[in-house]
Amino acid sequence: MIKIDALPAFSDNYIWLLQDPERRHCAVVDPGDAAPVEAWLAANPGWQLSDILITHHHFDHVGGIERLKAATGARVLGPANEKIPGRDLALHDGDQIDVLGQRFSVYAVPGHTLGHIAYIQAEQHWLFCGDTLFAGGCGRLFEGSPEQMHQSLSRLAALPEQTQVFCTHEYTLSNLRFAAAVEPDNQQIKQRLEQVGQWREAGQISLPSSIALERATNPFLRSSEPAVSAMIAERDGPASRSPTQVFAALRAWKDHF
């Protein structure tokens, strides 16, 4: 049975650590800093870092790769269409990979960056989505278009509702404050905002989320909802908007929220 823990990094990043206790092998997702992984390995002698999975090229996701690879010989897997330091295996949409005895599917999810990928383990219902889908939000559009990001998020939203969402930043509280502004009458958002506020006050992590929870409370997955399009019409003026156009308006609003 694989165990998954979050190693905090920088001010709000998480490096996901997958552990196979039987073989004492582990893998990490998006190690922007080598130090938290090195500290875990030092505190757990006899464990071998076998794989480093990368979702996209931003430094806070790749900064620790080379040091970890040099120290452990771990295999580095990452998107084919981005410059990933130390990459051993270049991944494309639809590829299948085996990590710690688990089969993962690779999804191309452009938007935050053009080559961004996500890793899905269908049997275990795990989604490692980097900075594409956040708990209560989504990544900024640094390279891609609103159309690309909306399509990527729609693809992730179509995963089974029990899928666990392992994103890489603790942005949930600020995201849910925005969600409450978009849908002030959504009771599930109110409840989630209160719960996450209590968790963060107690120093608890707000992740992983689930696809079911995101469908119910994440405005960026809800651009087809009448209440969401009505709020955009109220803010930006009445017009006939497609779900992608509603999404684009939401992202622009969140950028200055």
Write out the catalytic residue numbers: 56, 58, 60-61, 112, 131, 169
Cis-peptide into 226, omega within 30 deg: no
Q: What is the DSSP string of 165-227?
A: EEESB--HHHHHHHHHHH-TT-HHHHHHHHHHHHHHHTT-----EEHHHHHHH-GGG-TTSHH
Residue written as tokens 């998480």? 14
C-alpha 176/C-alpha 184 separation (Å) is 11
CA separation for the pair 154, 231 (Å, rounded): 20
Contact 30, 53 (CB under 8 A): yes
**How far apart are alpha carbons 243 and 225 in whole angstroms?**
9
Residue linked to tokens 């469908």: 215
Residues in the chain: 257
Distance of CA 235 to the CA centre of its chain: 29
Give me the torsion for CA of 223, 227, 233, 238, rounded to 10°.
110
Give yes or no for a contact between 21 and 8, defined as CB atoms under 8 angstroms apart: no
